[in-house]
Amino acid sequence: MTEKLLIELMLSLYDYTLLEQNIATLSDNSSLILAKSIADTIQQNFRTFTKQPIKENQQLLSMHEIAYSLNISESTMLKVFRKVYSISPKNYLDQLRYNESKFLLHQPNLPISEIAETIGYQNLSHFSRQFKQWSNLSPKEYRIHFQKNGR
């Protein structure tokens, strides 16, 4: 539980740091507000999903659905989010998934297939490839490394 709170704090600090780095270059305050709304919507949807991923017909919202829920076009969402955070909304979601998967991999009795499903991957091999791209380790290698080194 403490690790999960620490991850949440780190994500909030990351958000704050990105905003602070870019605030000087932004002339339009509404861009900041909109970008924060986009980030909050992505985070809220991800948190809701990871609490009950196996619930029938529940899935992560697509970027199109997130834009629609905020009454903006997908291109506007992408432009504003990139302007403020210097990454795409999809990459932001991927960072949430990566951080959550690392946290879950620290639980040795939790099957990797369940972790993949919990963070929104229906295909274990796709999750494994993506995790390796993020960390240069497979999920199994990451878990073993963490168990040996404790970090």
CATH number for position 46: 1.10.10.60
* pLDDT score recorded for residue 1: 60
Q: Tell me which of 29 and 73 has the higher pLDDT.
A: 73
Contact between 99 and 88 (Cβ < 8 Å): no
**Alpha helix locations (H) across 24-123?**
29-51, 63-69, 74-85, 89-105, 112-118
pTM: 0.75
Position 20 confidence tier, pLDDT thresholds 50, 70, 90? low
Q: In the 8-state DSSP scheme, what is residue 57?
A: T
Residue by residue, DSSP assigns 8-42 as HHHHHHHHHHHHHHHHTT---HHHHHHHHHHHHHH
pLDDT tens digits for range 64-90: 889 999 999 999 999 999 999 999 999
* pLDDT score recorded for residue 141: 93
* pLDDT score recorded for residue 47: 87
Q: Look at residue 28 and tell me whether its pLDDT is greater than 90.
A: no
If one counts the domains in the chain, the total is: 1
Which amino acid appears at position 118 of this protein?
T
Shortest CA distance to 80 belongs to which of 41, 38, 17? Answer: 38
* pLDDT score recorded for residue 60: 73
Across 58-65, average pLDDT:
78
**How far, in Å, CA of 18 to CA of 34, rounded?**
15
Which helix or strand (DSSP H or E) is residue 140 part of?
helix 139-149
Print the domain residue range for 81: 2-149
Shortest CA distance to 118 belongs to which of 95, 101, 137, 139? Answer: 101
CB count within 10 Å of CB 31 equals 16
Q: In the 8-state DSSP scheme, what is residue 62?
A: P
Q: Look at residue 23 and tell me whether its pLDDT is greater than 60.
A: no
In this structure, what token pair is assigned to residue 85?
């955070």
Position 30 confidence tier, pLDDT thresholds 50, 70, 90? confident
Residues ≥6 apart with Cβ < 8 Å to 54? 117
